[in-house]
């Protein structure tokens, strides 16, 4: 089998199996769940994003947790990606759920939660770019004319601070009044890029957080 034949078959497969990684949605609410936390009501289990203007803009869901034999990577990615197309801008909202954000403690080798989140954004961007290159369904055939924008959104319950992380950019973002800012991410295919990152703290019951689309889009 020739390489070009293999490539055509991959493209065809991605096109005829609409739920393989990307699904189009017209719902005005999206639920993102962290199933591993279902055993404990003190952990963040679910985020509901409401008032999504799906009737006015195109919206997709990108699922990195879809298990595809021989394709699912070992690298860590975010829970879910909400993709919107508006005014020829394709925006990837990389959604991460955290019950607690633990900073690195003195004399502790374990990597801080903030560094793990940073790495998840970087791995997710690499995989998004890979899928953009190969996927040709759900109107993505026109992606050459669109601008691409990445946003990292972190929903969390609590933050445990430490002086060790204070100098890092991502720590400065979560410690700022608005809890948002630009973060440098290095991806396999794009190199070093700055993306918008926003932290949204849960102020209600610990196991569930509800937010509006405007909260992640502004």
Model confidence over 125-184: pLDDT tens digits? 988 887 776 655 555 556 667 788 999 999 999 887 655 555 678 888 998 999 999 999
pLDDT computed for residue 70 by the predictor: 47
The residue among 33, 65, 64 whose CA lies nearest residue 48 is: 33
Local confidence band at 197 (pLDDT 50, 70, 90 cut-offs): very high
Q: Could you tell me the residue ranges of all domains in the chain?
A: 3-217
Local confidence band at 49 (pLDDT 50, 70, 90 cut-offs): very high
Residues 6+ apart with CB under 8 A from 29: 48, 49, 50, 51, 52
**Which pair of structure tokens corresponds to residue 216?**
């992640």
pLDDT computed for residue 134 by the predictor: 63
pLDDT computed for residue 187 by the predictor: 82
User: Could you give the count of Cα atoms lying within 13 Å of 200 in the half-sphere of its Cβ?
Assistant: 23
Beta pairing class for 58-62 and 80-86:
antiparallel
Query: Is residue 18 predicted with pLDDT exceeding 50?
Result: no
The span from the first CA to the last CA of the chain, in angstroms, equals 49
Model confidence over 70-113: pLDDT tens digits? 455 555 889 999 999 888 898 999 999 999 887 665 555 566 78
Phi, psi of 11 (to 5 degrees): -60, -40
pLDDT computed for residue 51 by the predictor: 96
Q: What is the Cα–Cα distance from 125 to 130, expressed in whole angstroms? A: 9
pLDDT computed for residue 194 by the predictor: 93
3-state SS, residue 138: coil
Helix axes 3-16, 113-134, angle to 10 degrees: 110
Q: Residues 169, 174, 176, CA angle at the centre, nearest 5°?
A: 90
């Amino acid at each position: 089998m020739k390489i070009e034949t293999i490539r055509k078959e991959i493209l065809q497969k991605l096109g005829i199996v609409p739920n393989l990684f990307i699904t189009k949605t017209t719902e005005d609410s999206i639920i993102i769940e962290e199933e591993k936390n279902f055993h404990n009501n003190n952990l963040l289990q679910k985020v509901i994003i409401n008032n999504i203007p799906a009737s006015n803009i195109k919206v997709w869901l990108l699922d990195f947790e879809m298990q595809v034999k021989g394709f699912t990577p070992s690298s860590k990615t975010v829970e879910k990606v909400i993709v919107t197309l508006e005014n020829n801008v394709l925006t990837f909202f990389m959604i991460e759920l955290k019950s607690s954000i633990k900073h690195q403690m003195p004399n502790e080798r374990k990597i801080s939660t903030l560094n793990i989140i940073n790495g998840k954004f970087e791995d997710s961007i690499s995989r998004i770019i890979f899928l953009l290159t190969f996927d040709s369904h759900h109107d993505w055939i026109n992606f050459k004319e669109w601008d691409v924008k990445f946003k990292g959104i972190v929903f969390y319950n609590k933050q445990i601070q430490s002086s060790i992380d204070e100098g890092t950019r991502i720590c400065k973002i979560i410690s700022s009044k608005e809890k948002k800012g630009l973060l440098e991410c290095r991806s396999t295919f794009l190199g070093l890029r700055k993306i918008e990152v926003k932290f949204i703290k849960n102020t209600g019951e610990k196991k569930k957080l509800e937010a509006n689309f405007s909260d992640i889009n502004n």
